[in-house]
């Protein structure tokens, strides 16, 4: 898809989401809901003795399957799959640069995903929640988050570019 058209469509989806639900987009909230629900089901005594988990259980009696964020993430996964099928880009392929091994690429991807997930919890949300939704409502924190994301991306690209070239 044309990236400019995709950006406009993303902005419209974000605007409609804020208008309809009163809050923006975000994927880490759905993942957190599922994990907390699993902990609540597997260790109910731990949930009852932990203030954060107890508060979550009391405020979400239906669990994560009743939360619209869960359906947002399911929709993103289905949409990504359909996009790959429609554009004939489906397949299992490990993309890497000529100076990196498959093993290093996989380890780097897993470590990067772990660090990004940790950062989203420390930063109280993922890029879509903190940066996009935050900037949409002119939040100072959202603007700082977006600057930090792109700034660190450009900074670290200088050091890691040799792995891809």
Spell out the domain ranges in the chain: 97-165
Question: What was the pLDDT predicted at 65?
Answer: 67
pLDDT(25) > 90: no
Task: Output the furthest CA–CA distance in the chain (Å, rounded).
Answer: 53
pLDDT in tens, 27-62: 777 777 788 888 888 988 888 888 888 887 777 777
Instruction: Kindly report the pTM of this predicted structure.
Output: 0.65
Say which residue the tokens 């100076």 belong to: 99
User: Mean pLDDT, to the nearest integer, of 20-29?
Assistant: 78
User: Mean pLDDT, to the nearest integer, of 4-20?
Assistant: 88
Question: What was the pLDDT predicted at 146?
Answer: 85
Those residues whose C-beta lies under 8 Å from the C-beta of residue 50, and which sit 6 or more positions away, are none
Mean pLDDT over the full length of the chain: 83
Say which residue the tokens 């932990």 belong to: 50
pLDDT(110) > 90: yes
Instruction: Considering only residues 24 and 154, tell me which one the structure prediction assigns the higher pLDDT.
Output: 154
Q: Which helix (H) or strand (E) holds 41?
A: helix 28-42
Band of residue 6 on the pLDDT scale cut at 50, 70, 90:
confident
Say which residue the tokens 């470590």 belong to: 111
pLDDT(165) > 70: no
Answer whether 142's CB lies under 8 Å from 131's CB: yes
- HSE-up (13 A, CA, CB side) for residue 75: 10
Question: What was the pLDDT predicted at 64?
Answer: 64
Could you count the other beta carbons within 10 Å of the beta carbon of residue 48? 11
Strand ranges for 83-164 from DSSP E: none
Band of residue 123 on the pLDDT scale cut at 50, 70, 90:
confident
Structure-block tokens of residue 78: 């289905």
């Amino acid at each position: 898809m044309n990236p400019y058209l995709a950006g406009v469509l993303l902005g419209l989806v974000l605007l409609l989401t804020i208008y309809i639900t009163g809050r923006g987009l975000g994927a880490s909230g759905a993942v957190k809901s599922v994990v907390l629900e699993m902990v609540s089901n597997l260790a109910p005594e731990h949930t009852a003795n932990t203030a954060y988990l107890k508060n979550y259980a009391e405020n979400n009696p239906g669990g994560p399957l009743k939360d619209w964020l869960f359906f947002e993430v399911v929709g993103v996964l289905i949409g990504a799959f359909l996009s790959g099928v429609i554009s004939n880009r489906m397949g299992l392929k490990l993309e890497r640069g000529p100076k990196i091994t498959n093993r290093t690429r996989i380890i780097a991807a897993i470590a990067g995903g772990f660090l990004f997930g940790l950062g989203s919890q420390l930063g109280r949300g993922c890029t879509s929640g903190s940066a996009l939704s935050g900037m949409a409502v002119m939040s100072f924190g959202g603007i700082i988050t977006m600057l930090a994301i792109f700034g660190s991306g450009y900074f670290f690209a200088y050091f890691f570019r040799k792995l891809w070239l």
